[in-house]
Structures are given as C-alpha cells and as structure tokens.
A and B are shown apart, each in its own frame.
Chain A
Amino acid sequence: MADVILFPDAERVLIVHLNSLLTEPVSLTVPNPRPAAFIVVRRVGGPRRDLVTDHPMLTVEAWAGGPTAAKALLERARGEIFAMRGTVVDGVAIYGITETGGPAFLPDPDSTQPRYTCTLQVAMRGAASHSTPDDGGGSS
C-alpha cells in the first residue's frame, strides 16, 4: 500500500491569504470589469520537492494607476508572502519562500496599465489522500 499525496492548490492558498490582507482584489485572472488596482497570482511551474512538499513557482503581478503605485502594491504582496514562512495558511503548512525573480516592470501588451511582477517559490506541505490497494506483487 502506498499513500497518495495530494498537494494544495497553491494559487488558491496565496489568493485567499492576500485577499484577507490587502484591499485590492487578488485573483487568478484579470478581473472584468478591470479594477483600478489589482493583483493576479499564477502558477508557472515548480516541481515537487520531496514526498510531502510541493514547490510551486508562482508569478505575482500587480497592476495600478501608475508604475510607482504598481510597484508599491507588488511590494506589499511580496512582503506578505515572505511573512507566510513557518505559518499555516488556510490549513496548509508553509515551509519557506524562495525568490526566483525579483520585482520587475513588465509592460502589459494588452493594456496600457502599468504592471510590476515577481516570481516566488513557496514550499507547501501536501497531505495523504488515500492509500493505493495492494497490487499483490511483493517480492519474488
């Protein structure tokens, strides 16, 4: 029998957490209608670190009325994410945060709204969902 480990929805963990702390909306996609300032969190990869730890790579994108405001909004979100280390968020243990790409001004090709972005890896603990049935194999 082997335990099947399921990992948390990393984007959801960050979105729920940031929405509880920031006044600007945080979501998985660009909201419609488009708010004056908002954050989008998207998973762009990241492998499982070990048996029970996922290491998702997440981009955080902050849009606002001007570059300075967008950068400030990103910095707030970035700070809150780094503060998640060693805590339990929405039932998920957060082991650590690694920054893959620091804050950068990344013009949005679809709008004229300024956007700042950074990419982080957040180590999160998974949980056993169920065990696989014995395949009857064993040693020969």
Chain B
Amino acid sequence: MRPRIELRRGAAAELMKSDGVKADLERRARLIAAAAGPGHRVEVEVGRNRARAAVITDTIPAMIAEGRDRNLSRALDAGRG
C-alpha cells in the first residue's frame, strides 16, 4: 500500500520558521563563514514566511577578498553538509 501524505494548511510555513530549521540554517551559515575566513559574520532572522541566514563580509579586507578572489562565493559549498 502506498503511503498517503496529507499536507496540513500552513504547516510548511510553520516548519520553515521552526527552531530546528533556524538552527540548521545557522549551522550551515557558520560553516560557510568559517570556510570563508576572518571578517565574515552570520545573521539569522525569522521573516514572515521563513527563517533565513546570511553570511556577510564584515571587514574591508573580507570585502576585498570577495571582490578579488571570491573568498565567500567559494566557501558556499561548506554549507551543503
């Protein structure tokens, strides 16, 4: 017998804003920031529809490193694990 999946209205949005998703996003963002090197900060926030995390170049050297060598872009894969 095939499993039956019922989606509860609003459950997906609830899930996307949950503490678990928030923690997972923060963990991934911190991995990316660590791989990118010094000068990157992580911001996590819960928006209207979902939680989100950002890795931000926080110093002039980090901004230059992204502009010249793509330090932060090349670190994105670190967040896949």
A residues apposed to B, CB below 8 Å: 42, 44-47, 57, 59, 100-101, 106-110, 119
19 contacts across the A-B interface (CB closer than 8 A): A42-B70, A44-B70, A44-B73, A45-B73, A45-B74, A45-B76, A45-B77, A46-B77, A47-B77, A47-B80, A57-B73, A57-B77, A100-B76, A106-B66, A106-B67, A108-B67, A108-B68, A109-B63, A119-B73
In the bound complex, residues from chain A placing their C-beta under 8 Å from that of B80 are 47
B74 and A44 contacting across the interface, CB-CB below 8 Å? yes
A107 to B73, CA, bound (A): 15
Q: Give B77's nearest chain A residue, CB to CB.
A: A45
B43 to chain A, nearest CB (A): 17
Assuming the contacts A44-B76, A57-B76, asked whether A107 and B67 have C-beta atoms less than 8 A apart, the reply is yes
In the bound complex, residues from chain B placing their C-beta under 8 Å from that of A59 are 70, 73
A96 to chain B, nearest CB (A): 18
**Which interface residue of A57, A107, A108, A109 has the most chain B CB atoms within 10 A?**
A109
B71 to chain A, nearest CB (A): 10
In the bound complex, residues from chain A placing their C-beta under 8 Å from that of B68 are 108-110
A108 to B63, CA, bound (A): 10
Q: Give A57's nearest chain B residue, CB to CB.
A: B76
A98 to chain B, nearest CB (A): 13
A47 to B80, CA, bound (A): 9
In the bound complex, residues from chain A placing their C-beta under 8 Å from that of B74 are 44-45
**Which interface residue of B68, B73, B75, B80 has the most chain A CB atoms within 10 A?**
B73
Per-residue A-contact encoding for B32-72, CB less than 8 Å = 1, 0 else: 00000000000000000000000000000001101110100
Q: Give B35's nearest chain A residue, CB to CB.
A: A45
A104 to chain B, nearest CB (A): 11
